[in-house]
Amino acid sequence: MTVALAAGSYDMTVDPAQGGAILSANWRPPDGRKVAVLEPVTGSLAPFKAGCFAMVPFANRIADGRFRFEGNDYAVPVNHPAEAMAIHGFGRENPWRITAQDSATLTLEQDFERADNPYRYHARQEIALSEAGLRLSLSVRNDGARAIPFGIGFHPWFPKSPRTTLAFASRGVLGRDARGLPILPPRTVPAFEPASPAPLATLPWFDGFLDGWEPRQVRLERPEDDLALELEAEGAFRHLHVFVPDDRVVLCAEPVSHAPDAINRPELGAANAMHRLAPGEAMAGTMTIQAMPLRTMPFSTTRHRR
């Protein structure tokens, strides 16, 4: 059963049974139009190729589903066998239960334990709408018997028009090895420069982890819809991963806590590493998305954002 939320000029549909995923999110500007904030999930799409979902207990990829940590070898299920990767964690593969709900907010929780998986955790999503936009919080607690590396993230899919731009500040995108996993050094991507972002039509394919995302803000502009979206991240969401496919008119700007395969790549540095959580310890992050007319100044300090 899906859950409908609404507040101010926003509405949203969530499916707790389908990995606690957001199926759609829309905004109505002053002229009354209905504008998609997220690419809506439809029956023609494979699961988790639209909307937004939580990534837990890790974000992005772990090569071959294997890692060594504090003298112990671990193996997690390879849920993307075509690339021999464990990808995006296990939260999306299992249902979440509703623990609190009203017309504008929803709290989802998930307890995970499997015989073939070293992770045992309790995760919580807090989803809220207000006139200030979407506020999505994700936390995870290590319910296992030993310390183990954890990570979290959100994976929103946004519509992409021919003139869509994406702007943020960073030190650059990490390189990619033959398996698409990150390597040093980073390189700059002029298309994302805040002063003069380029239409993403000029960047037909991109998949990269951004190093040094600071401030933790993204501005997406879709001129065809007179729309600007501003995404901000807090807490453990220290990093940004961007995906722009060349076979669909969508893009992803994903706040995450660590780099892909970071647990196997210590050379990426402590800032890009996963979090060590001892039994009972937790980590949390929050993502906000606000829609506004395109003419609105970027990240105006005069607007009430929360």
**What digits encode the pLDDT tens for the residues 233-270?**
999 999 999 999 999 999 999 999 999 999 999 999 99
**Residues 6+ positions from 160 with CB-CB distance below 8 Å:** 200, 222, 244, 249, 250, 251
Element (H, E) at 137: strand 133-142
- Phi and psi torsions of 270, nearest 5°: -60, -30
Q: Which of 119, 121, 120 is nearest to 109 (CA)?
A: 121
**What digits encode the pLDDT tens for the residues 208-219?**
999 999 999 999
Tokens (6 digits) for 281: 């310890």
Residue 7 is predicted with a pLDDT of: 98
Q: How confident is the model at residue 304 (pLDDT cuts 50, 70, 90)?
A: very low
Residue 302 is predicted with a pLDDT of: 39
Mean pLDDT, range 164-174, rounded to an integer: 97
Cα–Cα distance for residue pair 111/141, rounded to 1 Å: 10
Cα–Cα distance for residue pair 174/81, rounded to 1 Å: 24
Q: Is the pTM of the predicted complex or chain greater than 0.75?
A: yes
Cα–Cα distance for residue pair 38/22, rounded to 1 Å: 9
Residue tagged 């060349």 (tokens): 246
Mean pLDDT, range 170-179, rounded to an integer: 96
* pLDDT at residue 44 is higher than 80: no
* Buried residues in 130-168 as b, exposed as e (16+ CB within 10 A): bebbbbbbbbbbbbbeeebbbbbbbbbbbbbbeebbbbb
Residue 306 is predicted with a pLDDT of: 41
**What digits encode the pLDDT tens for the residues 199-210?**
999 888 999 999
Q: How confident is the model at residue 83 (pLDDT cuts 50, 70, 90)?
A: very high
Cα–Cα distance for residue pair 99/109, rounded to 1 Å: 7
Computed over every residue of the chain, the mean pLDDT equals 95
Residue 300 is predicted with a pLDDT of: 55
